[in-house]
Structure 1
């Protein structure tokens, strides 16, 4: 029974993990063939340098040559002068990963030879050209327990079609010895060493670079973004898609988001190297996280009113709309406390990004003792639209507020006509609140980019339930140390 219970528990755990894996991503990164080609150029340059530093061991053995006898040979001090990879391509292998095919590669090396035949000993040097080298590399892409991308060499094969050697001196039997005894051993050794270098380069260069992708990004003192992979990257015939969690969270207390991400219907765009799909879920978790962190509270005092505005935030100004204020609190400074009773919820469609926030405005009189006397509580709603762009690897934006609608939710000073406050609240929103919000949005939120990547040729489009950002990329190598 205990074993059966353990099996049931393990099955339930596996089901939970499968369901977690099946969750729709809140953010999708699509790398097109153009993006892969660009990355491939840099990867091949690195691999070429790695292969040029390949160290080959000495070769020795015995071989019997007809009419000559048994020859003892040694090939030593093999020095690889160069290894060139002039032609290569990277291909997407659907549901598998990536394949790199290198053709017509060639290498040049030299070394020393030494032979012993009966009582005869001889030695010299040689030059060797390895031509028509074909290398095929299959890369398996995945993700680790932390949600970071991984890459490994699933398969590597090397084929050498032609080896030409030139010995110092003219010894015909040396060529025969090389062709029949040394060349097969050298060919097998070089083919094996090339794949060793490929696997080592993937582990030492590609894998550490992929780990520079930030799976969590701290935005400010209140919130961060979870960019961990929800599943291994998926290769299709035209692109490599990476599904990320794409979820904002409160740094003080992370809680479950009460709404799920929706599936994103990516358009078949391939003009840019990379595309980012930021879903409405992504943006709405931002509102949820900041609301949970208590960050959606804003206070306005008289000192914050711009100099060009011809009034002060006090009961004298507001008595024109609420006459009883002048009697109850004559010429008293005021404070407005704006807060969101619930997290703002936005929608994204072909026409753009919009939201209708609900804001509570609590008005206070600031008494001589610095204590606050509540005056009235207003409810504010407005249609808000957004302009979105990408700047320095960050999603940035600005808000535009439409006409404000007010309602009186509670009053400690008696009834009054709320619509008369409409104009002054418009001034507070456009002159104080909006500039501060837009200044924060202009700082932006970081995109999930690995180290030393810059974006250019930015494209911004709105689709149903998600924002599509397209860009070309440029890799900025580190300068000399």
Structure 2
């Protein structure tokens, strides 16, 4: 049951019926026909398992015979086998309903224990034995979802279960007596089967499905205070062979909303044969730039340039800035505080398949006076530097949760030439031209910090990407992939 529900949850993340005003969707998922066929395969595997472990409530009743009224009980009714094959199963998508899985003309074998008693006192007769039941069934179950405060709720709006051609064969004890009236028992068993199967399935699936929904990774922690909100914001779009889901896709710092200036982006799927397509809009990346700027994650204080091992002092910087050495003839320690003048804004370059990230950085230099117990900081100059980072996009699996895939930025080029300006100076002129090389080395760590930022995707455990491909367009990054599923691993969300 858990594996089946987990498969359902993975499939119907997109089947959300949203209410209220439509919000911008900066992250989207498209499930293509090939993916639907794969889901159908998952359903088939799980239904086969369920049809060999299905149980039915006990059945009891009375019938009249020449010897009097016979009271019977059939207990421990459980499925043992089925002939479910690929041809029996259909998975359909319909606008406004959800995902419907149906099987028809499936033969199920069940085993049970029987017992009876009749008469009273000295004339009391009782016996027991086993019974083999067979039935042909049709099943159609629809799984969908609602939306409450941006979070999905699991629904099973429809379940149709019908059994027919029921046959009971009794063995042991007075089985000859039961077999004479098995047609009457067949009818009662069919009624019990039809009336109890759906309520049992619906109750169990709803409870497990809601638990699984509550554990879906829709609010991801990226770093201290920075989160990625992937809650669903509008209803899905259904066709006969695809489902499109719409996610908020907004980075936030401690949950604070951002003012987004959005323009229409193209989210259509490329003409390739992949199961899933995930769309990361440029606006989503830019919201990350704002959130990281607010969090201070790209701010740092430099006391030593690690690449060279050089401490930041009036002597070491005085080689490049003579006026600094003149002002402080005795060597003093210094610090440089690096901060962003404004949030990073991303541009996507389709021709080169790269992401360009210009960083507007302020470098504020301070001289330290350690002559007293309280160190004082004297500001001497502030430089503005524009760093142009160029990155490619790749994949990396998180080693701690290997079911989760991350988006990795790989630096390919950095340029600084002609992009240095003096904002403030208390030591006179500063020869910015000669600072190109040392500053490019000194702030390379800032560019590398962007390489370490990984974008987790909402992939549930038990699911792994297979042969993912990335394409960069003007407004969106498209990740196309097939997937493999570990049916047992899917149940980790429940």
TM-score interval, smaller chain: 0.7 to 0.9
Q: Secondary structure at the match of 2:232?
A: coil
d(CA) in 2 for partners of 1:194, 1:69: 35
**Per-residue deviation at 1:261?**
6.9
Residue by residue, what CA displacement relative to the aligned partner does 1:165-221 show, whole Å, maximum 9, x if unpaired? 324489988656332x33222112112222123213312333322322122222222
Structure 2 residue aligned with 1:356, among 343, 355, 358?
358
Contact 1:130 1:160 in 2 (8 A): no
Structure 1 residue aligned with 2:200, among 197, 201, 205?
197
Residue by residue, what CA displacement relative to the aligned partner does 1:316-354 show, whole Å, maximum 9, x if unpaired? 343344322221112333322221121111123423322
Q: Which residue of 1 aligns with 2:281?
A: 279
**Per-residue deviation at 1:34?**
4.4
Structure 2 residue aligned with 1:446, among 449, 456, 461?
456
Distance 1:123 1:476, change over 3 A: closer
Contact 1:455 1:474 in 2 (8 A): no
d(CA) in 2 for partners of 1:59, 1:241: 49
The answer to whether residue 144 in structure 2 is matched with residue 140 in structure 1 is yes
Unaligned runs of 5+ in 1: 1-16
The answer to whether residue 424 in structure 2 is matched with residue 410 in structure 1 is yes
Q: Secondary structure at the match of 1:219?
A: strand
The answer to whether residue 420 in structure 2 is matched with residue 422 in structure 1 is no
Unaligned runs of 5+ in 2: 1-18, 398-404
Structure 2 residue aligned with 1:435, among 420, 438, 448?
448
Contact 1:257 1:285 in 2 (8 A): no
**Per-residue deviation at 1:135?**
0.9
Structure 2 residue aligned with 1:240, among 240, 243, 247?
243
d(CA) in 2 for partners of 1:171, 1:290: 76
**Per-residue deviation at 1:246?**
1.2
**Per-residue deviation at 1:468?**
1.7
Distance 1:292 1:168, change over 3 A: closer
**Per-residue deviation at 1:297?**
1.7
How many pairs does the alignment contain?
A: 450
**Per-residue deviation at 1:100?**
0.4
Distance 1:171 1:328, change over 3 A: closer
Superposed counterparts of 1:246-257, under 5 Å: 246-251=249-254, 254-257=256-259
Q: Which residue of 1 aligns with 2:469?
A: 459
Residue by residue, what CA displacement relative to the aligned partner does 1:127-186 show, whole Å, maximum 9, x if unpaired? 3342432211122233333x333332221112334223324489988656332x332221
**Per-residue deviation at 1:98?**
0.5
Residue by residue, what CA displacement relative to the aligned partner does 1:244-274 show, whole Å, maximum 9, x if unpaired? 21111112x7243343474442315573343
**Per-residue deviation at 1:43?**
5.3
Superposed counterparts of 1:38-437, under 5 Å: 38-39=38-39, 41=41, 52-62=53-63, 72=70, 74-77=72-75, 79-84=77-82, 86-87=84-85, 88-103=89-104, 104-112=106-114, 114=116, 125=129, 127-145=131-149, 147-168=150-171, 177-179=181-183, 181-251=184-254, 254-260=256-262, 262-268=264-270, 271-302=273-304, 304-307=305-308, 312-330=311-329, 331-350=331-350, 351-369=353-371, 370-392=375-397, 393-404=405-416, 405-430=419-444, 432-437=445-450
**TM-score of the two chains, using structure 1 as the length reference:** 0.81
Contact 1:454 1:474 in 2 (8 A): yes
The RMSD of aligned alpha carbons is: 3.5
Contact 1:142 1:232 in 2 (8 A): no
**TM-score of the two chains, using structure 2 as the length reference:** 0.79
**Per-residue deviation at 1:281?**
1.9
Q: Secondary structure at the match of 1:162?
A: strand
Distance 1:323 1:38, change over 3 A: same
d(CA) in 2 for partners of 1:415, 1:171: 108
d(CA) in 2 for partners of 1:157, 1:43: 17
Residue by residue, what CA displacement relative to the aligned partner does 1:4-24 show, whole Å, maximum 9, x if unpaired? xxxxxxxxxxxxx732xx112
Distance 1:258 1:77, change over 3 A: closer
Q: Which residue of 2 aligns with 1:24?
A: 24
